[in-house]
Chain A
Amino acid sequence: GAGVSQTPSNKVTEKGKYVELRCDPISGHTALYWYRQSLGQGPEFLIYFQGTGAADDSGLPNDRFFAVRPEGSVSTLKIQRTERGDSAVYLCASSLGWGTDTQYFGPGTRLTVL
Chain B
Amino acid sequence: AQRVTQPEKLLSVFKGAPVELKCNYSYSGSPELFWYVQYSRQRLQLLLRHISRESIKGFTADLNKGETSFHLKKPFAQEEDSAMYYCALSEIGSGNTGKLIFGQGTTLQVKP
Say yes or no: A105-B86 contact (C-beta < 8 A), given A43-B100, A45-B99, A95-B98. no
In the complex, are the beta carbons of A42 and B98 less than 8 A apart? no
Which of A40, A44, A105 makes the CB contact (< 8 A) with B44? A105
In the bound complex, how far is the Cα of B90 from the Cα of A31, in angstroms?
A: 15
The interface residues of chain A, by DSSP majority, are classed as loop
With both chains docked as a complex, state the minimum distance between the C-beta of A102 and any C-beta of chain B, in angstroms.
5
Q: Does A20 contact B (CB under 8 A)?
A: no
Which residues of chain A are within 8 angstroms of B51 by Cβ–Cβ distance?
100
In the complex, are the beta carbons of A100 and B102 less than 8 A apart? no
Interface footprint category on A: 20 to 34
Say yes or no: A105-B43 contact (C-beta < 8 A), given A31-B98, A48-B99, A100-B90. yes
Say yes or no: A48-B98 contact (C-beta < 8 A), given A42-B105, A105-B43. yes
Which residues of chain B are within 8 angstroms of A43 by Cβ–Cβ distance?
44, 86, 100, 102
Q: Does A67 contact B (CB under 8 A)?
A: no
B86: nearest chain-A partner, CB-CB = A42
Which of A31, A48, A100, A104 makes the CB contact (< 8 A) with B32? A100
B46: nearest chain-A partner, CB-CB = A102
Q: Does B69 contact A (CB under 8 A)?
A: no
B88: nearest chain-A partner, CB-CB = A42
A4: nearest chain-B partner, CB-CB = B43
B32: nearest chain-A partner, CB-CB = A100
Which of B4, B98, B101 makes the CB contact (< 8 A) with A101? B98
In the complex, are the beta carbons of B43 and A106 less than 8 A apart? yes
Which residues of chain B are within 8 angstroms of A55 by Cβ–Cβ distance?
97
- Chain B residues at the A interface, C-beta cutoff of 8 Å: 4, 6, 9, 32, 43-46, 49, 51, 86, 88, 90, 92, 96-105
- Chain A residues at the B interface, C-beta cutoff of 8 Å: 3-4, 31, 33, 35, 40-45, 48, 50, 55-56, 59, 91, 95, 98-108
**CB-CB nearest 7 A-B residue pairs:** A42-B102, A105-B44, A45-B99, A56-B97, A48-B97, A99-B98, A43-B102
